[in-house]
Chains A and B, each alone.
Chain A
Amino acid sequence: MNDPFLLFDLLLASAVIALAVATLSVRDLFASIVLFVIFGLLSALAWVRLSAPDVALAEAAIGTGVTGALLLKTLHHMRFVTGRLGQDAAESVTPAQPVPAPVIWANAALCGLITLGLAMAFFAAPQAGPGFEALVTDAMPESGVTHPVTAVLLNFRSYDTLMEVVVLLAAVIAVWQIERGLSEAPAPALGEIWHGFARLTLPAIVVVGTYLLWKGSEAPGGAFQSGAVLAAVGLLLLLSRNYVPRPAHRGLARWAFVLGTGVFAAIALLVAGGGREVFEYPAEHAYSLILLIEGLVTISIAVTLAALFHGREPVALAIEEKRHDT
C-alpha cells in the first residue's frame, strides 16, 4: 500500500492514457506520429516498472523506434506525392467523408461492449495466480542460457520465434511487391550537423547492438532488440545517402532476408533424431546453437527492418524510366 512509487505509477498511467487520446485526436498528422512515439516510450517505461525490461527494450526499439521511422517515412512520401511539403497538407491523408451518426453510435456501442468484456475478464482473473514461471525455472538448466526470457524465446517456444521471423520475411516480400514501380520521394535535406551526428553515433550503435545480442543469454536483451538497434545503422546510412541501394544488391539482400529463417529451420531439423524431437537442442551444445541462431537471426532482422524502411525494391534505372514514359 505504502509504495513510494504509487504516485509515479498513477502519473505515468494517466500520461499514457492522455497520450493515447491525443495521438488520435490531434489534427496535424506529424504531431500525431510524434505523440505516438512519446506514448510508446512511456509505455516502455511502464513495462520497466512491471519488471519486464526485455519487453520494454523491444517496445522502445521496434514498437516505437522502427515503427515511428516507418510512419514518418510514409508521411513524407505522401506529402511529396501531393506536392505540398508544408504543414497545410498534413492534416489528413484521406479526403474526409462525413460518417452518419448511427454508424458512430453503433461503433461506440460495440467498442463499449468489447471493452466491458475485456475489463470483466481482467478483473475476474485470479490475481498473481501461478503461471509458467515454476515450469520455466525447473527447465532452465537444460536451456543452455541463464536468462529466462531468452530461454523461452529461443529454446522452449522456438517454434513461435521461427514463425515470427517468417512473418517478418513475408512482410518484406509483400512490401517489395506492393511498392513495385512506385516513384520514390527524395530524401529529406538534413544538413551538415546531421551528418556529423550520424558519423558519431554509427560506431556506437554497432557496439550497443552487438552488446545487446551478446548479453541476451544472461540479461535482458537478445536477437530482436539487437536487430532493431542494428537496423538503426541501416536507417542512418539510407537517410544520409551514404548507402544507396542498387539493383545489383538485390541478391545479397535476399540472402540476408532468408539467412536467419533458413539457419533457424535447418538447425531445428538437424538436431532431431537420436531420440530427440525437432527444436530439442542437446543440452551440452544448446548455448552455442542458441548463440549461432540468435546471431544470424539478428542480421536478418536488422536487414529486413532497414529494407522495410526503405520500402521499394531497388530496380534497374531503365525499367524505372520506361514506367515514367508510359
Chain B
Amino acid sequence: MAHGPSQNFFSRWLFSTNHKDIGTLYLWFSFAMFLLGGFFAMVIRAELFQPGMQLIKPEFFVQMTTMHGLVMVFGAIMPAFVGLANWMIPMMIGAPDMALPRMNNLSFWILPFAFAMLTSTLFMEGGGPNFGWTFYAPLSTTYAPDTVNYFIFGVHMMGASSIMGSINIIATVMNMRAPGMTYMKMPLFVWTWVITAFLLVAVMPVLAGAVTMMLMDINFGTSFFDAAGGGDPVLFQHVFWFFGHPEVYIIILPAFGVVSQIIPTFSRKPLFGYSSMVYATASIAFLSFIVWAHHMFTVGMPIAGELYFMYATMLIAVPTGVKVFNWITTMYKGALTFETPMLFSIAFVILFTFGGFTGVMLSIAAADTQYHDTYFVVAHFHYVMVAGAVFSGTAAVYYWLPKWCGRMYDETMGKVQFWIAFIAFNITFMPQHFLGLAGMPRRYSDYGLQFADWNMVSSIGAFLYGGAQLLFLYNVIRTIGWGKPIDDPQVWEGAEGLEWTVPTPAPFHTFSTPPVVK
C-alpha cells in the first residue's frame, strides 16, 4: 500500500491513473493551449493595431480568429476546469481517486492528439479552418478548405475526451462520496461540476452529430446543410447552438464553483445562500437548453419565435442574479482580506456581472439586429469568458497551488499580475463595446478609419494582458521550484472543507480510508 508515483518520468505521466497527476497534466496542457490561443490573439491584435493590411493576409487572419476561438474554448478553458475537477473533486468529497482511473488517463491523452491534428492544418496546403469557431455551413462545408476533415476529427476527439471526463466526474460524485457527505453538503465546486458534467454528456454528442453531418455533406454526398440537395444551412445553426448555448454554461458553471469556494474563505464567513446557489446552478443549466436561437435572431425567425427566445434568455438573468447577490452578501460584513485569489474572484464578480448586462442587451431581439456579429458581441463574450472563466481559473490556481505543491507563491508578484491583468483586460475589451456599437463587424482583417483609435487602444491592452500571463507562468514555476515551503494543512486561515484536512503538500494518495463527515 501507499506506494508513490512511478520513478520513471515517462511511465509516471503517460500511464498515470492518479487523479492528481492527471489533473496536473490537464492543467499544464490547458496552459500550453492558453499560450497558443493567446499567441493567435496577439497576431489578430497586431494586425488590427492600424487600419490597412500590415502583417498578414486576410485569408490567414480568418484562420487566426477561428483557431483562437477553438483553441481557447476547447483547449484552454474546458481542460483547465477538468484539471481542477480531477485534482479537487476527490479531495473535496473524501474519495481516494476518480471512479474510473484508466478512462481518466484515456480522456486526457487523446486531447494532445486532437489539438495536434487541429493545429497541424495551419501548415497544410489550403490552410487551417477559416470559417469562424462557430463553423457555420456552407462556409465550413461547400467553401471549406480540404483540411476541414482534420478539424472534424479533432472535434470528435475533443468531444470523446469531454464525455469520458464528465462520466468520470458523475460516477465519482454519485458513488464515492465519504460517509455522511450528502448531496446538500457537497462543496459548491463539486455541485457546479456535476451539473456541468451532465450538460457535457447531453450536448457534446450533439456537437459530434453536427460535425458528422458536415463530414457526410462534404465527403459522402448527403445534403443536411446543402440547399442544392434539399437541405438547409439554417438547420446547421440550430444544431450548433443547441450545443453551443449549453457550452457557454459548461465553461462558466465550474468558474462559478471556484469563486463560491474562494469568496467564503477570504471573507471568513460561510457561503451565503448555499441551497439557493445549487438551485440557481441547476436552473441555469435547464434554461441553457431552451434559449439557443438568441444567437440567430437575424436568420429570419417569425416574430413569435423571436419573442419567445428573447424572454427565455432574459429569464437566465434571474438565477444568475441570485448567484451574484449571494457572492456579494457572503462578503458583506465579512472579515475580508485581499490575497491574489480573492482579488481575482472579486474582479470576476464585477466583470462577469458587466458581461452579463451586455448579454441582457444582446438578448433584446430588436436591438440585436444592430449588435449582431459586431465587436459588441466580441466584447460581451470576452467579458464573460476571460473575466469570467480565465480569471476564475487563475484564482483557482493561486488558491490551491500551495496545497498542491506545499509551497507559497509570491504574493506581491501575484498582486502585480492581478492589477496588470485587470487593467489590461479592460483596456482591451471595453473599447470593443464602442467599436461594435459604432458598427465595426467581427472577423474582418481591416476596418474603416473611424475605428482606428479604439483599435489601437484595444491592441495595446491585449499585448499588456498577454504579458501578464507570462508573469503568471513565471510565478507558478517559481512557486513549484523555489517557493517558501509551508506545511499547514489549512493553508488559508478561513478555508473550510475536506481538501484542507489532508497534509500540505497533498500526498500522492489521499483518503485511502474515507473520512466521516458529520
Bind each other: no
Binding site for A on B (CB under 8 A): none
Binding site for B on A (CB under 8 A): none
